[in-house]
Amino acid sequence: MTRLARPWGGLHHRLLGDPGAPRLLYANGSGSTLAEIEPLLGPWTERFHLLVFDHRGMGESDVPEAEYSMVDLADDVIALVDAVGWSTFRMIGVSFGGMVAQHVAARVPKRVERLVLACTSSGGAGGSSYPLHELQSLPPDEQARRLPLILDTRFTPEFVERDELARLILGARRRPPEGERSRGLTLQMKARSGHDAWDLLGSIGCPVLVAAGATDGLAPPVNSLRMMERLPRATYREFEGGHMFMWQDRAAVPMLVDFLANDGDRAPVR
C-alpha cells in the first residue's frame, strides 16, 4: 500500500461551545460529515468546548490521493488537537469514529482524560462491525434492502411501518457522494476494513464508557462487551435501539454527556 506522510493536512473543523468548559473531541461515523451532525450537537456544546471535524476525504476536508490506514486517521486527530492547542482532552467516538478513537487513545494515552466508545468494535479477536465496504459495492436497490436490518435488527418492513422513529431514521439516509467525494468514501471504507485495535485496548488507561444499542446489527453488543472486558478502566451501558441508539433512547445522550463531564473516576480498575 502507498502510504501518505502523516499527519494529513486540510482537516475541516470547528470549535463550538464555551472555551472555558471541558475540552471534548467528537469523532463521527462512516461517511458522515460535520455539516450533517452539527444540528445534533446541542447537548454537547452546552457542557463542553467541542471540537468537531470532517475525516480526511469527507465533507469539506481534502480528499487524499493514496490509501491510508486507521493509524493515519488517528494521527490526523492528534495533529488537529495539537493545532488547536489542546494538551489534554476528552473524546467521544461514534461508530467509525469509535474505531479511530481507540487508536488515538492508545497512541497518546496520557492526553485522553475520558473516553466514550459508542456503537463500535475493536476489530481483530474482539469482533468487527458489519463490512460496509461490501455493502457499498452492491447495487443501490440491494443496499436499500439490506440496510434496515443492519442498522437495527428489529427493522423488518412490518416494524418500520408502525414505528415513526424507524421511518425517520431510514428516511434520513444521505445521498451517495459523487466524483471526488465518492472516491473519498471508498478510501475511508478501505481503511475501515483493516481496523484492528484489539491488541491496543490494554494500553488505554483512562476511564472509558462503552455504549451499545441492544439491537444494533452493525456493531453488535457482544463486540462492545468484549472491548469492555479488555479495557482496564471501562464500564458498559446498553441502550434501547440499534446503531442509532443515541437518537432512539432518550436516556443515552444525557448519560454519555454526564460521564464525559465527570471529573471523578467512576470506572473500575480491573
Can you give the three-state secondary structure of 148-209, one letter per residue?
HHHHCCCCCHHHHHHCHHHHHHHHCCCCCCCHHHHHHHHHHHHHHHCCECHHHHHHCCCCEE
pLDDT digits 0-9 by tens, 139-175: 988 988 999 999 999 999 999 999 999 999 888 766 6
- For residue 8, what pLDDT is reported? 55
Fold observed for domain 13-134+179-261: Rossmann fold (3.40.50)
Residue 109, Cβ neighbours under 10 Å: how many?
A: 14
Q: What is the pTM of this model?
A: 0.93
3-state SS assignment for residue 131: coil
Lowest mean pLDDT segment, chosen from 105-114, 124-133, 136-145, 201-210: 136-145
pLDDT of residue 174: 63
Mean pLDDT value across the chain? 92
pLDDT at 176: 67
- Whether the predicted pLDDT of 6 surpasses 70: no
Per-residue cell: 242 = 440499534
The pLDDT of 175-197, averaged and rounded, is 87
